[in-house]
């Protein structure tokens, strides 16, 4: 799938925009880590390193039931 977006003149390189978009999609739970890395144009390993450098956790804890997890531990 390809999407074309016309933005007003901004001084941000395309690669940085892709990275920012991929991070936001990952944070919102809309894409997996692998898909986010693909959107940004990086391997998963390199992408995780970038996330950590930016203070973003590559691990998503969606729908985590802490009481159930505690009881199963």
- Segment 2-52, tens digit of pLDDT: 888 888 999 999 999 999 999 999 999 999 999 999 999 999 999 999 999
Decide if pLDDT at 65 tops 80: no
The separation between CA 64 and the C-alpha centre of its own chain, rounded to angstroms, equals 19
- Mean pLDDT in residue range 56-68: 74
Residues whose CB is less than 8 angstroms from the CB of residue 15 and which lie 6 or more positions away in sequence, other chains included? 40, 41
Which of the 8 DSSP states describes residue 63?
T
Task: Report yes or no on whether pTM surpasses 0.75.
Answer: yes
- Using an 8 Å Cβ cutoff, are 33 and 44 in contact? yes
- What pLDDT, on the 0 to 100 scale, is given for residue 68? 72
- What pLDDT, on the 0 to 100 scale, is given for residue 13? 93
- What pLDDT, on the 0 to 100 scale, is given for residue 17? 94
φ, ψ of residue 20 in degrees (nearest 5)? -60, -45
């Amino acid at each position: 799938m390809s999407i074309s977006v016309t933005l007003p003149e901004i001084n941000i390189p395309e690669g940085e925009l892709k990275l920012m978009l991929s991070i936001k999609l990952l944070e919102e739970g809309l894409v997996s880590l692998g898909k986010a890395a693909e959107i940004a144009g990086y391997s998963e390993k390199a992408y995780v390193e970038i996330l950590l450098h930016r203070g973003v956790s590559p691990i998503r804890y969606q729908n985590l039931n802490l009481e159930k997890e505690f009881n199963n531990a």
